[in-house]
Chain A
Amino acid sequence: MALITYRHTGIAGLAAAVPANTIDNYAYTEHFEADAVKDVVDKVGIRERRFAPAGMCASDLCFAAAEKLIADMNIDKSTIDLLIFISQTPDYRMPATSIILQERLGLPKTTAAFDISLGCSAFVYGLSVAFAFMQTGGFRRILLLDGETRSRVYHPKDRKTAFLFGDGGVAAIIENDEKYGESFFSLNSDGSKESLIKMDAGGYRNPSSPETLMEKVVDEQGNIRTDEHGYMNGADVFNFVLLEIPGNIRATLKQSGLEQDQIDYFLFHQANSYMNGYLAKKMKLASEKVPSCIEYFGNTSSVSIPLTMVSQMKETLPQPQKLLLSGFGVGMSWATCVINSPGMFISDLVEL
């Protein structure tokens, strides 16, 4: 069991950037009847989303967030010894986007850089990787970037996913200091559920071809997509969340020695309001302890937890807080952590 304890490492500051281009979900009716759209939007609780315009990548959102954070915190770029970029919507298949960002951000050639490819669990996974590197003592600061243009992954004519996903990018500065105390992580995977959320073609198993780019009806409901668009079986994902996540949260809390009511805020991956609402109810969590940004940004995959922190906790995170973060999704992959935040710097949300 991947249960990990780190000492004296934490998140010093956090910034986020979203596209200015705002989609009114109730008016997203090009391909479906307004009544049907209303039923879906009411249930998933996503009023607005941000869509990156053509030419804008996840890396551009992360770049803007990173520049803002570095300027706001007055960070000397030469002290950033590692840059990690988390995304499943990178600029290219090669080279890794993190390396392009090293040059773009003006970081020295002595900066280590690599990408992590995970979805909704990835911010917590990425934090764990960054914390582990910091524990070695060989790194002064880590810049953790996490960005997604998930709006482009799904097809607008597939109602199972058309109303859920949005775009965003975040930047976090990870530092060592005794004030961070101990933090606790649980990292998990279940490849037997690889087909619950998946894009079938366009990689090396099923390479891109004229056939994989053709639109086709994929189910009895008449949903349309290509093999190079993602699909999701929402009901099975909900079952997975109910089976795995409450137990994983309890296990991580037990490892931390804290009771559930000693946690100030629970930050869940923002999947949809219905699922998140039920999860909070099942865990008997007061709604004021479960911040949410799903209404304004939709499901932004791995970005959704830190985007919630920047957009909803600008006033509370600069104060000392005990936080529990839990991300779950495509893989299936899930991760939970309990972190001590003695006071986190939060930049104003950037709109591009």
Chain B
Amino acid sequence: MQEKLFELIKESLEIEGRELEINDNFRDYPEWDSLGQLSIIAALDENFGVVIEGAEFSKINTLGDLLAKVGSLSES
């Protein structure tokens, strides 16, 4: 799931030429913006069937936290 999630984040934010790390704060990426966030929302729904409520998503900062959240929601 981690590999797939990272691939989706890179596609959504159009990140090229570098690898993502599990402890990265994705909100600090120079590519992070509200348009990219829309793409991430669609990608998580389409690929994992997961929609994270806005209030919850705002508390998630690292890729590790995002991975854990997607993991827990996709199981339920």
B52 to A, closest residue via Cβ = A239
Contacts of B37 in A (CB 8 A): 235
B51 nearest CB neighbor, chain A only: A242
Shortest CB–CB separation between residue B58 and chain A, in angstroms?
8
When the two chains form their complex, are residues B35 and A39 in contact, meaning their CB atoms are under 8 A apart? yes
* B window 27-76: CB within 8 A of A: 33-35, 37-38, 41-42, 45-46, 51-55, 57
Closest to B41 in A: A238
Q: A268-311 toward B: CB 8 Å interface, digit per residue (1/0)?
A: 00000011001001100000000000000000000000000000
- Complex contact A235–B41 (CB within 8 A): yes
A229-243 interface bits toward B, Cβ cutoff 8 Å, 1 = contact, 0 = none = 000011110111011
Q: Assess whether B54 is in contact with A275, with CB atoms less than 8 Å apart.
A: no
Report the minimal beta-carbon distance from B4 to chain A, rounded to whole angstroms.
19
When A239-B41, A282-B46 are in contact, do A234 and B54 touch as well, CB less than 8 Å?
Answer: no
Interface class of chain A by DSSP: helix
In angstroms, how far is the closest chain B Cβ from the Cβ of A302?
23
Q: Given that A39-B35, A160-B34, A235-B37 are known contacts, is A278 also in contact with B51, CB under 8 Å in the complex?
A: no
Shortest beta-carbon distance from B73 to chain A in Å: 12
How many Å lie between the Cα of A239 and that of B50 in the bound state?
10
Of the candidates A39, A234, A240, A281, the one whose C-beta lies within 8 Å of that of B38 is: A234
In the complex the two chains form, what is the Cα distance from A234 to B34 in whole Å?
A: 8
| Selected contact of A235 from candidates B34, B45, B46, CB within 8 Å | B34
* Beta-carbon contact of B35 and A239 below 8 Å: no
With contact pairs A239-B52, A239-B53 given, residues A282 and B45 touching in the complex (Cβ less than 8 Å): yes
Contact partner, B35, options A43, A233, A243, A278, Cβ 8 Å: A43
- With a CB–CB cut-off of 8 A, which chain A residues contact B55? 236
A234 to B55, CA, bound (A): 13
Q: CB-nearest residue of chain B relative to A243?
A: B51
Interface size on B, residues (CB 8 A): 15
Taking a contact as CB atoms under 8 Å apart, the answer to whether B38 and A43 are in contact is: yes
- Smallest Cβ-Cβ distance to A277: which chain B residue: B42
CA distance A235 to B52 in the complex (A): 10
- CB-CB under 8 A for A275 and B38, given A235-B54, A239-B54, A239-B57: yes
In angstroms, Cα B53 to Cα A235, docked, is 10
A281 to B42, CA, bound (A): 10
User: Contact at A233–B54, with CB atoms within 8 Å?
Assistant: yes
Asked whether, in the complex, the Cβ of A238 is within 8 Å of the Cβ of B46, the reply is: no
0/1 interface trace, chain A 19-44, chain B, CB 8 Å (1 if under): 00000000000000000000110010
CB distance from A35 to the nearest CB of B (A): 13
Contact B38 A235 (CB under 8 A): yes
Output the least CB separation between A190 and chain B (Å).
11
Answer whether residue A313 sits at the interface, using C-beta atoms and an 8 A cutoff.
no
Give the distance in Å from the alpha carbon of A239 to the alpha carbon of B57 in the complex: 10
Query: A196 at the A/B interface (Cβ < 8 Å)?
Result: yes
Q: Is the beta-carbon distance between A239 and B34 smaller than 8 angstroms? A: no
* Residues of chain B lying within 8 A (CB to CB) of residue A236: 54-55, 57
Measured between beta carbons, the chain B residues less than 8 angstroms from A39 are 35
- How far apart sit A274 and B12, CA to CA, in the bound complex (Å)? 13
**Chain A residues in 8 Å Cβ range of B42:** 238, 274, 278
Given contacts A160-B34, A234-B34, contact A242 B54 (CB under 8 A): no
Residues of B near A233 (CB, < 8 A) are 54
Determine whether the beta carbon of B38 is less than 8 Å from that of A242.
no
- A–B pairs, 17, beta carbons within 8 Å: A40-B35, A196-B54, A234-B34, A235-B34, A235-B37, A235-B54, A235-B57, A236-B54, A238-B38, A238-B42, A239-B51, A240-B54, A242-B41, A242-B45, A274-B38, A275-B38, A278-B45
Residues of B within 8 A of A (CB): 33-35, 37-38, 41-42, 45-46, 51-55, 57
Q: Give me the 3 closest cross-chain CB pairs, A-B, nearest first.
A: A236-B54, A235-B37, A278-B42
- A residues apposed to B, CB below 8 Å: 39-40, 43, 160, 196, 221, 233-236, 238-240, 242-243, 274-275, 278, 281-282
